[in-house]
Amino acid sequence: MVVDMNDQSGTGWLQVRVVEANGAFGIEDAQVLVFGFNEDGGDTGVIYSLRTDSSGLAPKVALSAPPKSRSLTPADDGVPYASYHIKVSKEGYNSVEITNVPVFDGVTSLQRVNLVPEKMFSGISPGYPKEFTQIYDVPPSEQMP
């Protein structure tokens, strides 16, 4: 059986929850940008620009993913999910970027993002940047032999 590695005919969903204090409080009105990846691993541009509600939840969005049937075939037929990149920001907090967020056909992927208030970093050391972005590069899953 030949598998089309570019087949993204499935649909999965992504919902992002933005919090502080390791989940104790949702952050309202944070901006959540969702990007796709091209074949070279670079961003394809913004797919969704979202805002969080009072509990820190961004609206659930539909994203293309490989069909569920890909997860039923040997691993050399490619990964059974699509990877997306998200950037989360809110004034007064340090920004967060997460790459390789997996989205599976027929599944809602939940991604929690913890933002840290900028004031938490003000006394760390002289010259420490007031604003910086935490970057989490989630490595793609290894294919099974």
Residue 130: domain span: 10-137
- Establish if 65 belongs to a structural domain: yes
- Establish if 106 belongs to a structural domain: yes
Question: How far is Cα 3 from Cα 136, in angstroms, rounded to an integer?
Answer: 31
Structure tokens at 67: 């069909």
* Number of helices (H), then strands (E), in the chain: 0, 9
- Establish if 52 belongs to a structural domain: yes
Structure tokens at 21: 């204090």
H or E segment to which residue 10 belongs: strand 10-20
- Establish if 3 belongs to a structural domain: no
Amino acid at the residue 65:
A
Question: How far is Cα 142 from Cα 112, in angstroms, rounded to an integer?
Answer: 23
- Span 29-57, mean pLDDT? 88
User: Does 93 score more than 70 pLDDT?
Assistant: yes
Structure tokens at 96: 């967060």
> Which has the minimum average pLDDT: 54-68, 84-98, 124-138?
124-138
Structure tokens at 99: 């790459």
pTM of the model: 0.79
User: Does 2 score more than 50 pLDDT?
Assistant: no
Q: What is the pLDDT of residue 22?
A: 75
Summary mean pLDDT of the chain: 81
DSSP label of 136: E
